[in-house]
Structure 1
Amino acid sequence: MAVVVFLFVIATVFLVIALVGPYRLYWRARPHAPRQPSDGALTLGRVAAFGVAGIFAFGGCSVQASIDKGTWSASEVREAAEDAAESMANDTQIRRDPTDGYTSLIEAAVVKAGEGQGPSYRVSVERAGEGHDYEIAAGGSDTTACMHVTEKKSSEGGVFVPGADGSSNSIPEYELTATVDDGAC
């Protein structure tokens, strides 16, 4: 953040130089001094000062944008978690690994929902307790969101898996609903 402030301070200094034109004021006070630059040279210097101010302002904005891309805000974490909850409710799911629960599914949904908001590699989803509560955090954000997932057996049945002996088994599918709250679970 200090780099951004420094770049904007430098841009402001060059903007003041361009607007005030201290060289013009100096040479107007000494109208008959030798080697006085022409008005065209003074104008060119002011235009160059405006250009340098613009370059430093653009640099400050670019650095600030890259800082914003590298971190998640609390509202971005919450919004991505809510979008993930909605996307999970759209499709039925097969029950996941009992130790993992729906952690990997939620993490993938949050990463997809949060594209462009922050770095996807800094998304963390951890199961809280034995139930279906999950803490969602993203790098750079001091806050977490808590997602509570409720599963209900799908009325459509499940996935039929044929057996080697000609029998068929069914793996049940579940409809998921999720709610998102701020803070830890």
Structure 2
Amino acid sequence: MAIVVFLFFIAAAFLAVALIGPYRLYWRARPRAAGQPSETALAVGRVVAFAVAGVVAFAGCSAQEAADRGAWTAGEVRKASEDAAESMASDPQIRRDPADGYTSLIEAAVREAGEGQGPTYRVSVERDGDGDGDGHSYVISADGSKVCMHVTEVKSAQGGIFVPEAGDGHGSIATYDLTATVEDGAC
């Protein structure tokens, strides 16, 4: 972040040189015989100062954008979690491992929903406790920002997935409709 501030400070200094032209004030105070640069040379110097200010400001903006891409904000974590909750609710799911719950499903959905908002390798999903009778809570964290997702499951009215000789002998595995809510902070 310090480099971004430094680059914008340098850009402002060059912009001031281009607008005010302290070199022009210096030469006006000296007598004509002192070998002043021509008006064309002064104009070219101003154009160069404007160009340098523009290039340095562009570098500052690029550095700021790179810093933004390298970290999650609290709003981005919440938005990606809400998008993940919507995507999980759109399709029936197979019941997951009781120890893991829907941790891996939530993590994959948050990473997909947060594509381009921050580095996906910094997303962490942890199951919070054993859950209550109507669902489980998961803490989603990235770069110090945390949200709580509460997931409830209801046996799907669509039935299940047909797999010969699976499940309870009827040849299908039950699917569940998920409902998820997202709250700021840890659970």
1:34-49 aligned at under 5 Å gives the runs: 34-49=34-49
Instruction: Please name the residue that 1:159 is paired with.
Output: 161
| Aligned pairs, number | 181
Work out the CA distance in 1 between the residues paired with 2:44 and 2:165: 84
- Equivalent position of 2:180 in the other structure: 178
Percent of counterpart pairs with the same letter? 69
Q: Aligned partners of 1:101 and 1:122: how far apart in 2?
A: 20
Separation (CA, whole Å) in 1 of partners of 2:145 and 2:65: 21
Q: In the TM superposition, what is the alpha-carbon distance from 1:159 to its structure 2 partner?
A: 1.4
Q: Name the counterpart of 1:133.
A: 137
The amino acid across from 1:120 in the alignment is T
| In structure 1, C-alpha distance between the alignment counterparts of 2:28 and 2:34, rounded to whole Å | 12
SS in 2 for 1:134: strand
Q: Quick one: which amino acid aligns to residue 55 of structure 2?
A: I
Show CA shifts across 1:59-84 (max 9, x none): 11111111111111111111111111
Matching residue of 1:80: 80
1:15 and 1:183 mapped to 2: Cα distance?
A: 43
Scaled by the length of structure 1, the TM-score of the pair is: 0.93
Structure 2 counterpart of 1:122: 122
Aligned to 2:104: 104
Structure 2 CA distance for aligned equivalents of residues 125 and 16 of structure 1:
49
TM-score (ref. length: structure 2): 0.92
Q: Distance in 1 between matches of 2:154 and 2:170?
A: 23
Deviations 1:30-71 (A, max 9, x none): 232343211101110010001111111111111111111111
Q: What root-mean-square deviation, in Å, do the aligned CA atoms of Structure 1 and Structure 2 show?
A: 1.5
Partner of 2:12: 12
Offset at residue 18 of structure 1 (A): 0.6
Q: In structure 2, the residue corresponding to 1:135 is in which secondary structure? A: strand
Distance 1:99 1:31 in 2: 87
Structure 1 CA distance for aligned equivalents of residues 62 and 33 of structure 2: 43
Give the gaps of 5 or more residues in structure 1: none
Q: Which string of whole-angstrom CA distances, capped at 9 and with x for unpartnered residues, describes residues 1-30 of structure 1?
A: 111111111111111111111121111112
